[in-house]
Structure 1
């Protein structure tokens, strides 16, 4: 079973790596077919809720490790929760601020090509690593 998961994961990463490589080599593919419409508040909130509650990675990547670590801190659960919440607020605030700071850079097509090339290298390297069993 683990071999199947490994090969499916490798194929998934390789596919996304090749898509990123194609975008890096063909930057015209980044052009939108139409004009972007501004989102409404309701649409933004629904998207945020969907990304939060429908994100399957949040449970094994966040909830389980945090819960396990919290249980190893008897008598300190309140402080652990405060620290975890503070870390989350700081992290997502930094992401939002970073987005605002990088907006002028990513207004240029060349920046997206460099980003996509980097993503292709990372994803294809991970796919090959999975295939080799490292």
Structure 2
């Protein structure tokens, strides 16, 4: 039980920090748009990465730094692109778009699901921090627990699932606040700023090394 709780606490310490992925989940949750899809992608991705790290894939990642570098620059490009879209929404205002989204047909919703899915996948799998945190760091800590390493990993997985479900479906509680005129412009402005900071943290280590 202590090992399970240790994994749970470790997982939460990694995932709770506001980043590109969390900002995207929060925005989709507030919009109530494809929340289940986004939560499933993020949680399932973490499950796969945690299992891979515990199985020993972390050593392979460390021995091939070129993989991390490719993910670094691709991730920075994706994050900057999403940040630019958020900045554009903040500048122009997105209230009309939100109203249209809530009144869309099932067919329209199906078409919108593809870009949401691709964005969720990109913000998850093109972020090198994800690999370093889940595969390398979590894998190393899990290995330190010996025969109980899978219990540690189970705790980390539970924390990830609970976090994304809570963030995605709990975000709707903010809807009354964000119904105020101009509120979404503030949210999108904050999201754009977060994306810029995340992109900077990805590329600055490579530029200064």
TM-score normalised to the size of structure 1? 0.59
Residue 116 of structure 1: how far off its partner (Å): 0.8
Residue 9 of structure 1: how far off its partner (Å): 4.8
1:84 is the counterpart of 2:156: yes
Number of equivalent positions: 123
Q: Does the 8 A contact of 1:70 with 1:80 survive in 2?
A: yes
Aligned to 1:60: 131
Aligned to 2:25: none
Q: Deviations over 1:49-83 (max 9, x none)?
A: xx6xx947368367524434322210223431442
Aligned to 2:35: none
Structure 2 stretches lacking a partner, 5+ long: 1-65
The structure whose Rg is larger is: 1
Match of 1:94 among 132, 154, 166: 166
TM-score normalised to the size of structure 2? 0.42
Of Structure 1 and Structure 2, the greater helix share is in: 2
In 2 relative to 1, CA 29–90 (structure 1 residues): closer, same or farther, beyond 3 Å? Answer: closer
1:17 is the counterpart of 2:83: yes
Aligned to 1:69: 141
Q: Does the 8 A contact of 2:86 with 2:191 survive in 1?
A: yes
The separation in 1 between residues aligned to 2:106 and 2:180, in whole angstroms, is 20
The separation in 2 between residues aligned to 1:70 and 1:24, in whole angstroms, is 42
In 2 relative to 1, CA 82–118 (structure 1 residues): closer, same or farther, beyond 3 Å? Answer: same
Q: Does the 8 A contact of 2:87 with 2:188 survive in 1?
A: yes
- Shift >4 Å, 4+ stretches: 1-11, 126-129
1:116 is the counterpart of 2:188: yes
Match of 2:179 among 92, 107, 111: 107
Residue 10 of structure 1: how far off its partner (Å): 4.4
In 2 relative to 1, CA 131–29 (structure 1 residues): closer, same or farther, beyond 3 Å? Answer: farther
Structure 1 stretches lacking a partner, 5+ long: none
- Out of 61-70 and 78-87, give the one that drifted further: 61-70
In 2 relative to 1, CA 19–103 (structure 1 residues): closer, same or farther, beyond 3 Å? Answer: same
